[in-house]
Structure 1
């Protein structure tokens, strides 16, 4: 049994992770602002992680074997966590994102189109950090989400007095109504209602992961391995928007309608005109086995169909 602290853990794959940690016999503490209570038997510390003084007081004399940080979005939060958990944990697992590799948001080494992107093109040990930027401004953070994640990783890797592992997640799907981003629902609704899906002229593939698989990988990262640094978390089998829509079409009998983006228009989610589909080879070499997207996507679509609005056309 290990003592595990989860920061966040109130929804989607974080909520599932808490349940799986508890089910496998670990002593679990959840830290969040009180938006929802964890399962019975899980310690719940209600505090705003952005209030470092309050966090320090709330933690008190507690120590943990591992901290899993689900909600670290920028370097100021990471620096606060590095201080707050110094001497309180030996291992820290941060949930990051595929978007750290987006070449539209940073100058990155070029990866040939079609070559899965490896972890080392974003080196957190060398990435520059600027904590004076307006990270607490919601609009700024939203506009600089990928850079916020890159710099959060960098602070932990460069400054923390404990081992740091970073899980860079692919686009997460599944869970029906629990999939709070609404991105799969966007496609389901557009296909079933005969609405045009706005895509690039030549959309490139990206990678996905089921929310249950991501929870399982985070469980493994927290309790089943001692790697440090980043790992990419994605199922085998990249897809582009046409592949994704085809799975929906197969279950609905409705052919997708597409419209090519014009000018500065925003495309539908998962339509990309740039290549940054990740490689999962490091996680595999460390011992984690991934599913294939085809194994779970039809089920995720069926869940989304069950929770989406009825067709209007």
Structure 2
């Protein structure tokens, strides 16, 4: 009988993180969840309380524990990555970091989907002295923080890391982002939806699909960056059409703006990711247009 894997999930208390934990438990893994104690993990998982930004706190909580896999759901900065690399070197056989499509924020290629090679973390400059502890700075440098975090992990060839570059996630009745609700509010009332003058489509992934992907990546043996996105692109118009289908009597009015804030999930640059590598490694993605109506229904509920 195969021995159960020891898996540590850092963060993971909400949205696709909690779905990941349930999948790991269902697969027979022994799952430990580490967080600051703000919420208990799903039933069946063990719980460690520590501040992942405090190396002493993290080492004390971990003790002598080792893991087959670590899935880090909350690594946002190169400082956090550097600390994690120090602590988990020799303590795990596999380290999976959830990264983001935002690492490609400078790779605007509207004519083609962007492959992982467009951002090689081994060539990304790292600046640990930037104000990464400032929430406002971190919020406005989200993609850069993730890009540099990947670079820190990639700098040690012996560290077995994976960076899952996650597309924009939709679906679930617990979507805390409010992005689809933004569209529903405006369509329901006929209020204008602000979009950029040049409005590019993007790749997406369903909340259940990214949980499946992370669980699969935890058990695979590849390393390095990998894109996680469903097949197909969605435009702002596609999103509006799907939301309007749940709101009889609603009205869609797109209004272009040259400057100022635009609606969420409307982009002046391309955020299309090429998922070929994951497919070659053995993961089968769904089609975004097939699951979009379901995602909208889950998020908005009962036709609301």
Q: Identify the TM-score tier after normalising by the shorter chain.
A: over 0.9
1:53 corresponds to 2:56 = yes
CA contact (8 A) 2:18 2:42 kept: no
| Alignment deviations for residues 49-93 of structure 1 (CA, whole Å, 9 cap, x no partner) | 001111011100100000000000000000000011112101100
Cα displacement (A) at 1:3: 0.6
1:292 corresponds to 2:287 = yes
Tell me which residue corresponds to 2:131: 134
Structure 1 runs, 4 residues or longer, greater than 4 Å off: none
Tell me which residue corresponds to 1:185: 181
Cα displacement (A) at 1:238: 0.3
* Corresponding residue pairs, total: 300
Taking structure 2 as the reference length, the TM-score comes to: 0.95
1:281 corresponds to 2:283 = no
1:29 corresponds to 2:15 = no
Gaps of at least 5 residues in structure 1 are none
5 Å matches for 1:166-177? 166-176=163-173
2-structure distance, mates of 1:82, 1:170 = 25
| Alignment deviations for residues 201-220 of structure 1 (CA, whole Å, 9 cap, x no partner) | 33111011011100000000
Describe the SS at the equivalent of 1:168.
strand
Tell me which residue corresponds to 1:99: 102
Taking structure 1 as the reference length, the TM-score comes to: 0.92
Cα displacement (A) at 1:48: 0.7
Cα displacement (A) at 1:307: 7.3
RMSD: 1.4
Cα displacement (A) at 1:34: 1.1
Gaps of at least 5 residues in structure 2 are none
CA contact (8 A) 1:49 1:55 kept: yes
Describe the SS at the equivalent of 1:252.
coil
| Alignment deviations for residues 121-156 of structure 1 (CA, whole Å, 9 cap, x no partner) | 110111110111111111111111110000000001
CA contact (8 A) 1:153 1:166 kept: yes
CA contact (8 A) 2:202 2:271 kept: yes
